Amino acid sequence: MINLTCPCGFRFSLPDELAGGAVQCPKCRRLNEIPEFDELPNLEPDGTIKLKPAEETPRKSAFVQQVRFFDPDRRGADGEEYDLRPTLEDVKKAGVEEIPLDLKDEPRPGPPKYDPETGELIRPIDVAPAPPAPPSAVRAPRAPAEEPPPDNRFLPVPARLASGASLVVLVAIYAIHVVAVILLSISSSGVLIAAPALLAAILVLVAHYGAVVDEIAIEQRDELPAPLRQMGFAEDIRHPISSVLGAVLLCYAPALAARDWPAAAAALLIAGTIVFPAVFLTLVTSGSVLNLRPDRIAGVIRRCGVDYAVSVILWCLAVAVYGAAWMGVWRFSAALAGSREVRRLIDISPGAGFALLFGAIYLMHLFCWHLGLLYRRHHDAFPWVLQRHPWAARNEPPVRRRRRRPAASADLRPANRSEQPGAPPQQRSA
What does the pLDDT profile of the chain (430 residues) look like in tens digits?
Answer: 788 888 888 888 888 888 888 888 888 888 888 888 777 777 777 777 777 776 665 555 667 777 777 777 777 777 788 777 877 777 777 765 666 667 667 766 666 777 888 878 887 777 777 777 665 544 555 555 454 444 444 447 777 777 778 889 999 999 998 898 888 888 877 778 888 998 999 999 999 999 999 999 888 888 888 888 888 888 889 999 999 999 999 999 999 999 889 899 999 999 999 999 999 999 999 888 899 999 999 999 999 999 999 999 999 999 999 888 888 777 777 666 665 555 555 677 778 888 888 999 999 999 999 999 999 888 888 999 887 654 444 444 544 445 445 544 444 444 444 444 444 444 444 3
CA angle 422, 405, 395 (to 5 degrees): 40
Note the maximum CA span of the chain. 138
**203, 240 contact by CB (below 8 A):** no
Q: What is the pLDDT of residue 301?
A: 93
Asked whether 12 and 24 are in contact (CB, 8 A), the reply is no
Cβ–Cβ < 8 Å for 236, 228? yes
Nearest to 257 by CA among 267, 245, 265: 265
Q: With a threshold of 0.75, does the pTM exceed it?
A: no
Q: What is the pLDDT of residue 99?
A: 63
> H/E element holding 306?
helix 306-337
User: What CA–CA distance (Å, rounded) separates 42 from 39?
Assistant: 6
Query: What one-character-per-residue DSSP string does 52-65 give?
Result: PPPPP--HHHHHHH
Q: Are 298 and 277 in contact (CB under 8 A)?
A: no
Q: How many CA atoms lie within 13 A of 370 on its CB side?
A: 23
- Residues 2, 17: Cα–Cα separation, whole Å: 9
- Number of Cβ within a 10 Å radius of residue 156: 11
Q: How far apart are CA 205 and CA 199, in angstroms?
A: 10
Say how far apart CA 429 and CA 240 lie, in whole Å.
25
First to last CA, the chain: 103
Euclidean distance between CA atoms 109 and 170, whole angstroms? 65
Percent helix, strand, coil in the chain (nearest 5)? 50, 5, 45
Give pairs for 391-395: CB < 8 Å, separation 24+: 391/423, 391/424
CA angle 210, 255, 374 (to 5 degrees): 35
Which pLDDT does position 415 carry in this prediction? 46
Write the DSSP symbol of residue 150.
P
Rounded Cα gap, residues 256 and 252, in angstroms: 6
